[in-house]
Amino acid sequence: MSDFVRPARLYLSALLSLALSAALVPPAFAAGAAEPAAPSPGEPQIPSVDKGLSAERVLSDMEALEANADYEPGTLLALIDGDAEVASAGVTLKELAGALDGAGGNLSGGAESIDRAGRCSLSPVSAGDAGDLGILGDIEPVAAGDWLGGLVLARVPVPEGMGAGEAASLLAQDGRVVDFSLGYVCSPEYVSEGAEVEVATGDPIYGELDKQWHLANAAVPGAWSYMQNPDGTRARGGVTVAVIDSGCDLDHPDLVGNLDLANAYDAVAGGPLEGDVLANVDAEDGGEGIASHGTHVCGIVGAETGNGIGTAGVSYDARVLPINAIDPATGRTAPGAIEAAFDYLFGLIDSGEDSIRVVNISLGSRNAMPTVAALLGRALDEYGLTVVASAGNGASSAAHYPSDYEQCISVVCANAEGRKDPNSNYGSGTDVSAPGCYVWSTVDGGGYGYKTGTSMAAAIVSGVAALLYTMDPGATPQQVRDAVVGGAEPLSEPEETAAGMVNATDAMELLLFGVDYGDVGTEEWYVTGGYFTYVARAGIMRGYSGTASFGPYLDVTRAEFATVLYRMANPGSGATTDPSLYEDDETGFSDAVDREYYTAALNWAKREGIMTGDASSGYTTVRPNDSLSRQEAAVMSRRFAGSLGADVGVEGMAAPALEGWDGVAEWARDAMTWCYHREVITGWDNRDGTFSALPLKTVDRSQMTKIATVLDIEFAK
């Protein structure tokens, strides 16, 4: 791609950046744009452009693009003044949009919606405006949302017998046309080799991953472990992923429960989605691999997880909103269809559908798409959307769109050995890699099959992003991007790309805890039980400062136990940053120390009667750095609950039926009984059907996560 051609095709986005007051693309090449006048209050600013240069750019683009066909030669895209009159209707384009929306023309864009399935003509212009040029007599509006700043984006068919260059010249003479470009299109990013379709049962997400190797390679099950709540429920749902693709099999048994059927939309036909528009593509007609593309992508993102059939979606049951942008006649996007899809999404969000957080675009082109560049900035900055796009399958480091736009997370395709797939694009415009070779997912007709390509890789990253938003709904797109990219691991052969392999577990840890804990096993009981996630997110327990270690099997010291209790009772206290809290030891214990991390906690614990000192020393010592036994932890836990007003009586509570109960000290028996019945400290599992008291066994940090979780939920909250 020459340096001349690329900025030429970005020109329209420079125009939009003026119209929207958002400099999304540096307009270094926009010498033809006049300096905009100061806008009138409440009126959109419509800039003046040298449209003769735009016509020249159409001609140069055609010459450069004829070899790759990533545009529709018979269609131009035009930005038209929304105040232009519609022929024989007596209304403006914008007014027509509102009228159609009120009549149920479609669901897009609120009051700015237009019926994209219908065509309309603009009224003939006066002779003073170059006469009736005839080029706007059969236009098809695509988008008219607020993000266009009072303009309407429309497809303009090139009249029969007229070339695109001549049509562009006529558009340049029409005063209602603000700017125009070729009708650029995208194609599904798949590689056809190895396509296989079969019906299967299984969903073996807790056994061998088998055909779902991509889940293991992207460390997805570990991320799922963090989604367990302490009450035994799974954190799931609440997030919607919009999939702009070829639609979806709306009746697939492994998808239907997670599909947003009420809002599924066809941005090409301009109405409700009826299915995957590529469902009936015949392989003999060159469609091998492309059939069911949207259904396959939707399944990778959001097939029902744990339902015992088929495959498991990466997102663990996020909602999936399928939107078709593909013209079934060509197998590529219709010009302006991606813009129409975003226009629709913006309207949904404006109407209250605020669960939409991720957009997957497994489509791409070698050609820049100016209006897509403009709306991606709006999607990120104003609507908080994380947009994930496939990097393309051209085995090239050349520019690729929309993935190369900085607002997207661009995804490279990797294989099971952790190497970049030879067909995948790579280079400085990419952000992260993901499994994409022979990925098993849903296909049309209720079946399953393999597909390969950056389309599949992008869908995995979209699923990971949905996991992160599920666990942290308040996360920003930048925080999610940082977690996904920062948690990635280097590829086995990283010489061609620095886009490391996505690691869903590490991404989850970076987002939730700010660190990738190297010593926390995601299949350990304290993680799968939801305890570790709870205390870490609540700031009750943290790792060791300056390290990536949590120390789950290190003993809890008496001072650490007091500090954890203090944090629960005094959230956000600033115990180690406010000198008035930690400067002086007030306990009277001879072995307590000023200005230690635990000083404020010990002062508080002494005042509350939670730590009274050692009887053996006449209550003059507290042994802050000694380990804590189970019976000592029980006593402190019961006193803590009592200090918060809880009923800590043991009347009616039977002594626990635990082996070794006779070894519990007399002074700890009531506390051990209370903790057992309140499930704070229960019996030690002997793994043979019996449980032991083990009163003298020390408490480690993994056990402390459960103690702290129960105390915080039941008594401190």
> Which residues have a catalytic role annotated?
245, 293, 455
Contacts of residue 557, Cβ cutoff 8 Å, sequence gap at least 6: 624, 625, 626, 627, 628
Q: CA-to-CA distance for 136 and 485, rounded, in angstroms?
A: 46
- Using left for φ > 0, alpha for ψ between -120 and 50, and beta otherwise, residue 216 falls in alpha
- Pair of tokens at residue 140: 């098809």
Tell me the residue ranges of DSSP E strands in 65-116: 71-81
Q: Are 470 and 237 in contact (CB under 8 A)?
A: yes
Q: What is the DSSP letter of 386?
A: E
From residue 250, alpha-carbon distances to 262, 344, 359, 446 in Å are 11, 19, 19, 10
From residue 39, alpha-carbon distances to 19, 36, 49 in Å are 10, 8, 16
Q: Are 2 and 360 in contact (CB under 8 A)?
A: no
From residue 567, alpha-carbon distances to 418, 536, 656 in Å are 43, 12, 30
Q: CA-to-CA distance for 263 and 283, rounded, in angstroms?
A: 30
Q: CA-to-CA distance for 36 and 45, rounded, in angstroms?
A: 8
**Among 627, 716, 637, which Cα is nearest to 676's?**
637
DSSP string, 22-50: ---S--TT-TTBPPPPPPPTTS-----B-
Q: CA-to-CA distance for 211 and 111, rounded, in angstroms?
A: 46
Q: Would you call the peptide bond into 27 cis, given omega within 30 degrees of 0 as the criterion?
A: no
Q: CA-to-CA distance for 674 and 651, rounded, in angstroms?
A: 9
Q: CA-to-CA distance for 149 and 154, rounded, in angstroms?
A: 14
Q: Rounded to an integer, what is the distance from CA 500 to the centroid of its chain?
A: 18
DSSP string, 435-454: E-SSEEEEETTTEEEEEESH
Give the three-state DSSP class for 673. Answer: helix
Contacts of residue 145, Cβ cutoff 8 Å, sequence gap at least 6: 108, 109, 110, 112, 343, 346, 347
- Pair of tokens at residue 574: 């600033």
- Pair of tokens at residue 222: 């570990």
